[in-house]
Amino acid sequence: GAGVSQSPSNKVTEKGKDVELRCDPISGHTALYWYRQRLGQGLEFLIYFQGNSAPDKSGLPSDRFSAERTGESVSTLTIQRTQQEDSAVYLCASSLGNTQYFGPGTRLTVL
């Protein structure tokens, strides 16, 4: 079946612009996660959605970052007034149980 998909695969933007990243989870997966991975670094947790529960936003680095999820489907991560330090790969994952299935990521470059 289809795996987790993300769009766009690459995004180049200018400092100060807003960007929106999209994640389509595996159908039926109740949990959805966003991570940030800087070059050569680990997986930095950003936000976690589980069913209809309030999302865990404890990993969002600043109020410029926000995310939404419509029911148990698509999620969007929005970064407002982008900064150069926001440059990274943004990974989305979904799960029904413990195993997280990752998408291919969106590579964001802020010039």
| Cβ-contact 53, 74 below 8 angstroms | no
| Closest to 65 (Cα-Cα) out of 79, 75, 55, 53 | 79
User: Does residue 84 interact with other proteins by CB under 8 A?
Assistant: no
Q: Which of 23, 77, 91, 110 binds other proteins (CB under 8 A)?
A: 91
State the minimum distance, in angstroms, from the CB of residue 81 to other proteins. Answer: 28
d(CA 23, CA 101): 12
Counting contacts by CB under 8 A, is residue 45 touching other proteins? Answer: yes
Binding to other proteins, residues 4-33 (CB under 8 A): 31, 33
* Least distance (Å) between residue 106 CB and other proteins: 12
Q: Is there a contact between 59 and 46 (Cβ–Cβ < 8 Å)? A: yes
Name the CA dihedral angle for 68, 43, 86, 64, rounded to a multiple of 10 degrees: 30
Question: Which residue blocks in the chain are alpha helix, DSSP H?
Answer: none
The residue among 19 and 32 lying less far from other proteins, judged by its C-beta, is: 32
The binding track of 48-67 with respect to other proteins, each residue x by CB under 8 A or -, is x-xx----x-----------
User: What is the binding site for other proteins (CB under 8 A)?
Assistant: 31, 33, 41-43, 45, 48, 50-51, 56, 91, 95, 97-105
